[in-house]
Amino acid sequence: MTKRILIILGHPESGSFCGALADAYENAAKAAGHEVRRIDLGRLVFDPVLHKGYAEIQPLEPDLLDAQAAIQHADHLVFVYPIWWGGPPALLKGFFDRMLLPGFAFRFKDATSSSWERLLSKRSARLLVTMDTPPWYYRWVYRMPGHNQMKRNILDFCGIKPVSISEFGPVKGSSPGQRRKWLEEASRQGEGAR
């Protein structure tokens, strides 16, 4: 089944290993016949800071309006980013803060309610995550704070599920052979649109 895939590169540098993973996924997905769009956050022009919180919504820059349209169009979202200080980079978090707004990503049922509608349901996601911490250590010692934030606090809150996670690490000190294996894994994920 052909899918409409949106790849979001959350590393500010397109030439990073995260960029190579995004390339591998993208090339394999296109070769398998999927419709693929890509957003490299490091190339967008937007202010990632919510200057007044959600008390007053800042007008969205054209790049963020385009990103919202791309998310609306997609069946499957792929986020490629590193774990820095236990979580995703500030650029990716700022992208979410600015773009996943009430009325677009979710809607509270009324002004006093704590229940909400998930407006981005019927979409799945894959996280391709690099780290310098060994994945087992991140899982069992740190308890995966960045994975939990992305999967539960952000994507599921908006209705995006299931969310699958592929971890690649530790990248620091990895051999060229190990990196090739990781790129092959990203290609397999892209080919199957998983």
| Complete domains list, the chain, with CATH | 4-191 (3.40.50.360)
DSSP 41: G
pLDDT (tens digit, 9 = 90+) per residue, 116-127? 999 999 999 999
Name all contacts of 50-56 with Cβ < 8 Å and 24+ positions apart.
50/97, 50/98, 54/102
Residues with Cβ within 8 Å of 117's Cβ and at least 6 positions away in sequence, in order, are: 106, 107, 108, 109
pLDDT tens-digit map of 19-72: 999 999 999 999 999 999 999 999 999 999 999 988 888 999 999 999 999 999
Taking the complete model, does pTM exceed 0.75, yes or no? yes
DSSP 8-state assignment for residue 16: S
